[in-house]
Amino acid sequence: MTLPTNLNSLGFAKPPSETRVVVAMSGGVDSSVVAAMLKDEGYDVVGVTLQLYDHGAALAKKGACCAGQDIHDARRVAELMGFPHYVLDYENTFREAVIDEFADAYLAGATPVPCIRCNERVKFKDLLETAKDLDADCMATGHYIQRMQGPAKAELHAAADGNRDQSYFLFSTKQDQLDFLRFPLGHLPSKAETRALAAKYGLAVADKPDSQDICFVPNGNYAAVIEKLRPGAADPGEIVDMEGTVLGAHRGVIHYTIGQRRGLGIGGLGDPLYVVKLDPDAKRVIVGPKEALSTRTIPLREINWLGDAPLTSQPEWHVTVRVRSTRPPRPAIIRPISETEAEVELLTPEEGVSPGQACVFYDPDSTRIFGGGWIWKGK
């Protein structure tokens, strides 16, 4: 099949003016630039902002997205550039699909990544369906990731700027979603280019700070949010070593994460001790030496596979994987168990691999992302 050569910048064989694109606008500089840039190129742009939680409570909170000030900022961009803008109330959906699971995962001793679930269950599911209802040809976002047309299908690739790459948070994007999505910023060499474009279009958000925290967790205080959502979650218990010897007391399992060293309150015991396991049922925090954190084998479930051949079509896949968003990809072998389950062997052990985190697969020979899965129990 020969692809048409007269494609517009979004990959459609028609003029931009006849191409409708819904832009998911968080109110930040990235999505604002996407909307302004596409409008400037002549596309039929429709801006949509999701209200994800009580913006009255969040209005004074800086460094978050999808709340009061951000809705206002997105609307101002739409007014300046002259395209329609809608605000959709997704509070109930967000609470059920993201916040409740976040709380339950923490209570189960996991370390969840709610931003991935938000992309998977809200932005790239419900919002994407809304875009289709609006007769859009595609939906564009401000994420730093690239969609490239491969020989077989649309492929997901890491952003050109490795410091901004958001592939860890987008591994669960399904193939049919990828077919409909566009990421116009993924090829930019740096965030400075994005801010320069915002200034060029005269956007008031050109100097707006990036969001840092999880949007519904003020000041990064996870425990306070979980105590509010699940009263009684912060029951105290024992800190024990790997043989079960009681070393001290803690103020609630939800205050601890795998790999934590500081703030344990059990100093003066010789070599440094780290949290190696959480046992919420027994209300115990288990600590041990640093080497006890090393993991070589990682069980995964809920795998989203974006390779050309099925995951189970071969017994092993040699890839690189990322087990934390802040860590570089490391060589590994995927051994499929089913289409959605696998065991990953790290060729070099990693420390602090935690249930609830994602393990994302990369092609070792290119920038392509092969999907990933959820880490669900430690060895």
Give all strands (DSSP E) within 25-176, no chain letters: 44-51, 85-89, 138-140, 145-149, 154-158
Q: What is the CA radius of gyration of the chain?
A: 22
Q: Residue 356 is encoded by which pair of tokens?
A: 């609830």
Q: At what angle do helices 29-40 and 68-81 cross, to 10 degrees?
A: 20
Q: Which residues are catalytic?
A: 118, 215
Amino acid at 168: Y
3-state secondary structure 187-250: CCCCHHHHHHHHHHCCCHHHHCCCCCCCCCCHHHCHHHHHHHHCCCCCCCEEEECCCCCEEEEE
Q: Which of 275, 264, 272, 242 lies closest to 355 in space, CA to CA?
A: 275
| 44 close to 20: Cβ distance less than 8 angstroms | yes
Task: State how beta strands 44-51 and 181-182 pair.
Answer: unpaired
Judged by DSSP in three states, 276 sits in strand
What does the alpha-carbon distance between residue 191 and residue 203 come to, in Å, rounded to a whole number?
Answer: 15
Q: Count CB-CB contacts under 10 A for residue 141.
A: 27
Q: Count CB-CB contacts under 10 A for residue 197.
A: 20
What does the alpha-carbon distance between residue 226 and residue 102 come to, in Å, rounded to a whole number?
Answer: 8
Q: Which of 40, 119, 110, 124 lies closest to 258 in space, CA to CA?
A: 110
| 283 close to 237: Cβ distance less than 8 angstroms | yes
Q: Residue 160 is encoded by which pair of tokens?
A: 């050109």
What does the alpha-carbon distance between residue 167 and residue 156 come to, in Å, rounded to a whole number?
Answer: 8
